[in-house]
Structure 1
Amino acid sequence: MTSKKELKFASILAIVLFITGITCYAAFPPPSPDEPVRLMFQNAAGKVLFTHAGHQDYDVSCLDCHHNIEDDEIYNCSECHEATGDESMPGRTDAFHAQCTGCHQDLGAGPVECNSCHAL
């Protein structure tokens, strides 16, 4: 059997190691990705969940979707595409549908039906 002194030492050691573990976890978090892993687009037709990982298996570059990269900075689509468009710039919905559905049709991969993307 263990003595009370050994049990007390083991308990204190366990507490110290636990606190050290929590401190190290908080002090050295894993690096965050350069781009968002998932994006949720909220709209009247139903939410659309976009994942970058699901698109990395295909031979597409960042410029295929992010056609506005300048000086290695990617801008938010909303900075150019308003909710409703005009002759000079398509609205967000039209731009997304043309970009996403058009690419899915061109590659023969990915959903093209409305409820395949607007599922949430």
Structure 2
Amino acid sequence: MLQKLIVTVGLAFLILTPLSAQQTSPSQADYVVLLDQNGTRGLVFFDHKSHQNLVNPDPDYKFKADKSAACAGCHHTKSATGVIQLWSCRSCHGYETAGANAQARAKSFADDAFHGECISCHRAAKKGPVLCSGCHKLIAGQ
């Protein structure tokens, strides 16, 4: 009788544990950021989770960060007291600029920011894509 109870509880544990983990774990989609959604080269699916603890090894990269605060390398804004502020990329490198040629200037600013950040890191680390098609994925109908 005790043996049946142990087997039943064990099986229930094995079956229910993965289900509970699925309900509480964030999905992969929570970590993927779509970039260049209106661009002509195609969408960029940026996996934030796989990058969030990395530090750009490029010696010429102007936003240095150490491993204990890797976020500061990409999210390189700080308050007046030096506290890292984790804004989204679009907060500063967005398309909300005013004035003549605003959209073109903002797009250029965003392109420079992402390409400078990503490609400099990939080249210095000798890992990751450095060509357009490595990140930009054309989707049918785009």
Which of 52, 56, 60 in structure 1 is aligned with 2:48? 52
Larger proportion of helix: 2
Instruction: Kindly indicate whether the alpha-carbon contact (under 8 Å) linking 2:77 and 2:84 is maintained by their aligned counterparts in 1.
Output: no
Give the match for residue 78 of structure 1.
90
1:100 matches 2:96: no
TM-score, structure 2 length as denominator? Answer: 0.49
Same amino acid, percent of matched pairs: 31
Given that 2:119 and 2:129 are in contact with CA atoms closer than 8 Å, whether structure 1 keeps it comes out as yes
Residues 80 and 59 of structure 1, relative CA distance in 2, 3 Å threshold: closer
Distance in 2 of aligned mates of 1:31 and 1:73: 25
- 1:40 partner SS: strand
Provide runs of 4+ in structure 1 moved above 6 Å: none
Asked if residue 39 in structure 1 is aligned to residue 33 in structure 2, the reply is yes
Give the total of aligned pairs. 89
**Any conservation in 2 of the 1:69–1:75 contact (CA below 8 Å)?**
no
- Residues 54-110 of structure 1: CA deviation (Å, up to 9, x unaligned): 335755511121112555541122222244438xxx611111111111111111111
Q: Does 1:113 align with 2:113?
A: no
Amino acid at match of 2:124: D
TM alignment of 1:2-21, pairs within 5 A: none
TM-score using structure 1 length: 0.57
Higher relative contact order (CA 8 A, sep 6+): 2
Instruction: Kindly name which structure, 1 or 2, has the bigger radius of gyration based on alpha carbons.
Output: 1
Aligned-pair Cα RMSD in Å: 3.0
In structure 1, runs of 5+ residues without a counterpart are 1-20
Distance of 1:49 and 1:115 partners within structure 2:
12
